[in-house]
Structure formats: C-alpha cells, structure tokens
Amino acid sequence: MKSKARHNQKSPSLAKGSEERFLNRKVSDTPLLYYKTREEIEAYRKKPVKLKLQWLQAQMEFLHKAMPAKAKRIREKMRKEDI
C-alpha cells in the first residue's frame, strides 16, 4: 500500500506570470498529513540499518541543497553556538 500525503497547495507552474501568482497564493491552514499503514511500518523496520541510514543521508543532502541561503546561515550560526 502506498503512503498518503495531503495538502492544499499546488506546485508552482513555470509559466510566465506564475511566480507572482504563486507568491500571492493563499496558504491553507490544513497541515500536511502523512500516513503509513502498520504493514508499511513493519516492512520498514525489517530493512537493514545501513539502507535506512543511506536514505536518511540522501534526504539530508536534498534538504540542504533546497534550503535558502539565509536558512543555511542561521543554521550554521546555531551550530557554531551549539544551540
């Protein structure tokens, strides 16, 4: 069974003028909901630890690349101050 994610925001289009529409969109108060069945959780638990850590590393690298420069500066400052 596949996981289910729900949100009310559409991904931005690359069409001309879409950036302005994207920036001026209404953001839903509905949180992103993420569900996993018991079977999916159990299947994940059976995976080797090395595979889970590789997946985690890939996610962290992706998030770092996608993070805005300002957020990276704040994060680095927090890391240096050991907050």
Q: Which two tokens stand for residue 37?
A: 């069945």
Contact 9, 31 (CB under 8 A): no
- Which pLDDT score, from 0 to 100, does residue 33 have? 76
pLDDT tens, the chain, 83 aa long: 444 444 444 444 445 666 666 666 666 666 777 888 999 999 999 999 999 999 999 999 999 999 999 999 998 899 888 66
Domain boundaries, the chain: 1-46, 48-83
Contact 34, 12 (CB under 8 A): no
